[in-house]
Structure 1
Amino acid sequence: MTARHILLLGPLMLLLAVAYLVPFLGVMEWSVTLPEPGFGQYAVALTDPLVLGVIWRTLRICAVVTVLSVAAAYVLTLIWVRGGPAARVVIELCILIPFWISVLTRAFGWLALLSNKGILNTWLQQLGVLSEPLTLVRNEFGVVVGMVHFLIPFAVFPLASSMRAVDERVLMAARGMGASRARIFWQVFVPMTKGGILGAVLLVFVFALGFFITPAILGGGRSVMVAELIYLRIFQSPDWGLGAAISVILMVTVGALLALMLRQVRGTGK
């Protein structure tokens, strides 16, 4: 890196350091100084049944959300990249419109749709399909639905990049050798887009780990995830040391996943 590059990147690096690194160092300090110096809060975070239960629930929900989001995004991206002009326009609208709506608005929209007295349950009861309303929110199901809806567009972009890089000559060669459409898709096309799939998986999983608003609203306090637990420990308990320790553990986990994603992206680009 030349001196010119350093001068150009200097202000940006300084801004990032002030906006992110300094607060994170402050949180790290809390984790080893509150309520008393030492690493006791990390021991509590890694042994307390309540914290471990929340961490396990978070990982489980994030895994389910990642699988559903990437699977749905793969279908949408396939139509977007290889479909006709009309289909592409529809898919582009489906991808872009969610970015115009805030996460809070979307969460309340799902709450209005899925609650016991919401639109879906009301219609099903009026049609005679249900005698009692289904419990679709204030549980993990509602959390998963809201998170998947939010994260699908983010999974589309790495998948689209990977699909557009597929060499059509390879698909034509497979077709010329008598392979069926299904075999070409599963044994040729999907393996050629594995870089995009892994990138989408890591991107969605990292985003899902830090979700707060959607689980808080659609979970109703019954499906607490790590971000909400940190909020409760810092602002309501208050137990700043434990909240800070959990925050550091979460940040280290996210950093490791991002490093893995960058390594995969660089390896795919070679």
Structure 2
Amino acid sequence: ICLITTLFSVTLGYSIAYAMVHCHQRQKNYMLTLLLVSFWISILVRTFSWLMLLGRKGLVNGTLENIGLIAEPIAFMRNELGVLIGMIHYMIPYAVLPLLVSMQSLDTRVMDASRNLGATGSQTFWRIYLPLTMPGLVASTLLVFILSLGFYVTPAVLGGGKVLMVAEYISVQLLVTLKWGTATMLAALMLFGVLAMLWVMSRFMKLSTVFGGAAR
């Protein structure tokens, strides 16, 4: 679930950050405001909003039934689909911001030189733009994955107890089954895994600083 969440969040986040960098300043301000609004809204509010939207009698199922696309409600809740929708919606801002910073720091003259030398738009993107934004892409991927590992509220509510994430499983071991040894082992493994990924992310950030300084 964390891998799927990271894949979709970073893909959508890259597209949004790319659009924000290449649009007009007014449109960029609107997009940035909408992006930051999600930080101001409580995670509980957003999670229960998804309950209202994705329920069997929610807005999504009701709209699909009214326009004749489905004959009976789709089971969005109490399964992995609902958990993924809620997690991806929450993680997109965390994916966008590191990518936005990375893209804004690029020297656009490099892309202009690529086009002047005969490269097409797709060649410029895949051979120049994407490699230059790779440090931000790696940082965004690790950040989203780390946050997804410790996700608790959204899987617990949207999953309805049928989708058990690691953080919720640790809570069950502590509060319900009283298997403190198992909970401690899982928590320690998660902590060391997160620290290892943070170390990897810091290495990529250092590399991006070094290469950025050398390029300048």
TM range (shorter): over 0.9
Report whether the alignment pairs 1:263 with 2:203.
Answer: yes
Unaligned runs of 5+ in 2: 211-216
The counterpart of 1:90, out of the listed 11, 20, 30, is 30
Identify the residue that residue 50 of structure 2 maps to in structure 1: 110
8 Å contact from structure 1 (residues 79, 87) kept in 2: no
Structure 2 match to 1:77: 17
How far off is 1:148 after superposition? 0.7
Give, in whole Å, the separation in 2 of the partners of 1:111 and 1:191: 39
Counterpart check, 1:188 vs 2:142:
no
In the alignment, which residue of structure 2 is the partner of 1:169? 109
Aligned pairs for 1:1-270 (under 5 A) are: 61-270=1-210
- In 2, the alpha carbon distance for the partners of 1:127 and 1:168 equals 46
TM-score for the superposition, normalised by structure 2: 0.94
Structure 1 stretches lacking a partner, 5+ long: 1-60
Which is higher, the Rg of structure 1 or of structure 2?
1
Instruction: Give the Cα separation in 2 of the matches to 1:97 and 1:146.
Output: 16
Cα deviation, residue 266, structure 1: 1.0
Q: How many positions carry a matched residue from both structures?
A: 210
Report SS of the residue matched to 2:76: coil
Whichever residue aligns with residue 234 of structure 1, its letter is L
Identity of aligned residues (%): 38
Cα distance in structure 2, aligned partners of 1:86 and 1:101: 23
Distance 1:231 1:224 in 2: 10
* Inter-partner Cα distance in structure 2 for 1:268 and 1:159: 13
Residue 77 of structure 2 aligns to a residue whose secondary structure is coil
Bigger CA drift: 154-163 or 188-197? Answer: 154-163
- Structure 1 distance, partners of 2:195, 2:49, is 32
In structure 2, how many angstroms separate the alpha carbons of the residues matched to 1:82 and 1:186?
A: 17
d(CA) in 1 for partners of 2:140, 2:64: 35
User: With structure 1 as the length reference, what TM-score do the two structures score?
Assistant: 0.76
2: CA distance between counterparts of 1:88 and 1:157? 13
Aligned with 1:116: secondary structure? coil
Aligned equivalents of 2:18 and 2:69: distance in 1? 35
- Amino acid of the residue matched to residue 165 of structure 2? M
Give the Cα–Cα distance (whole angstroms) in 2 for the partners of residues 119 and 244 of structure 1: 41
> Contact 1:212–1:227 at 8 Å: present in 2 too?
yes
Measured after TM superposition, the shift of residue 229 of structure 1 is 0.1
Residue 228 of structure 1 and its aligned partner are, at CA, apart by 0.4
* Whole-angstrom distance in 1 between the partners of 2:179 and 2:56: 35
Contact 1:234 1:243 survives alignment (8 Å): yes
In 1: Cα distance, 2:13 partner to 2:200 partner: 21
- Deviation of the 1:87 alpha carbon: 2.0
